[in-house]
Amino acid sequence: MSGLGTILTAMVTPFDASGAVDEPAAARLLAHLFATGSDGVVVCGTTGEAATLDDAEHLGFIAFVIEQTRRHHPGKTVVAGVGSNDTRHAVALTAAATELRPDALLSVNPYYNRPSRAGVVAHYREVNAATDLPVMLYNIPQRTGADLPNDLLAELAQFEHVAAVKQANPANLALIDGLELYAGNDENLVDVLALGGAGGVLTLSHIFGAEFRQIADDPARREQVHASLADAYRDMAIAPLAVTNKAALSLLGIDVGGPRLPYVPLDAAERDVIRRLLERHGRLSSTGVPA
């Protein structure tokens, strides 16, 4: 799994003016991400608004990103989101995505249902059996309503293909035998690297890829660069990260469209927060022109 890279961007899904998945915009976004420090991308995850994609869109977008990456960005990696709160659906997505041959799969624990521990284990037993690719677990209790404690993660690591965890519960940050550790929150990347973890699945790397690249590659300046992003961690959280990243990209002249309902675009005041953030970090001039 360490072959996935250190900086993985949880990529937004571009939509066109009609609300359809915009593949040309996705190709341009991939080029931007790989040029600014990302080792790979995670597609059809939370920031990719996977919950609003039907299965044809979901699998079609995974296939497109894999094809574009293999053709134009050799050496870069693709992780495909395949999670669902319905085990049958998760297994179907896992099997279908496996046929597309991404580098790994991202599988969130069943949300909303809040199954018992035995239910979580049974769920991942079925997911594990549906693929021969590495599976990255995704622990994000603020969205799923249930935590995966580290002893349960250690149990799940016994499944043959379960190989990593995207850990979005800072209280659980720890190395676990059999699992590569990836930060699930941007601000925890430095903590994961200090522990000897593999890296992070990040969102602000859409905009601050160079800074995260430096955090990964320059331990001597790691804390200094991390501290310089404090306002970005704060301001980009004024709305769901899919929404703020799309707004920031738009301000930088990288058109990825707006979000799908139930997400809504930033209002004027929120957009101004993001604009001023980009100005402070030299991404925009005071006249609103990308630097």
CA 201/CA 12 separation, integer angstroms: 13
CA 43/CA 183 separation, integer angstroms: 16
| Catalytic (active site) residue 138 | yes
The active-site residue out of 76, 124, 138, 246 is 138
Judged on CB neighbours under 10 Å (0-12, 13-18, 19+), 54 is: exposed
Question: DSSP letter at 260?
Answer: P
CA 33/CA 8 separation, integer angstroms: 9
What are the angstrom distances between the C-alpha of 246 and each of 29, 62, 99, 212, 218? 11, 19, 30, 19, 28
| Catalytic (active site) residue 233 | no
8 A C-beta contact, residue 175 and residue 185: no
Query: What's phi and psi for 84, nearest 5 deg?
Result: -160, 155
Cα–Cα nearest to 85, from 164, 26, 140: 140
The active-site residue out of 76, 124, 166, 182 is 166
Q: Where are the alpha helices (DSSP H) in the chain?
A: 23-35, 55-72, 87-100, 117-129, 141-144, 150-156, 189-195, 209-217, 222-228, 230-235, 241-251, 268-280
Residue with tokens 């804390």: 223
Distance of CA 28 to the CA centre of its chain: 18
**Single-letter amino acid code for the residue at 63:** A
Q: How many CB atoms lie within 10 A of CB 60?
A: 15
Residues with catalytic function: 138, 166
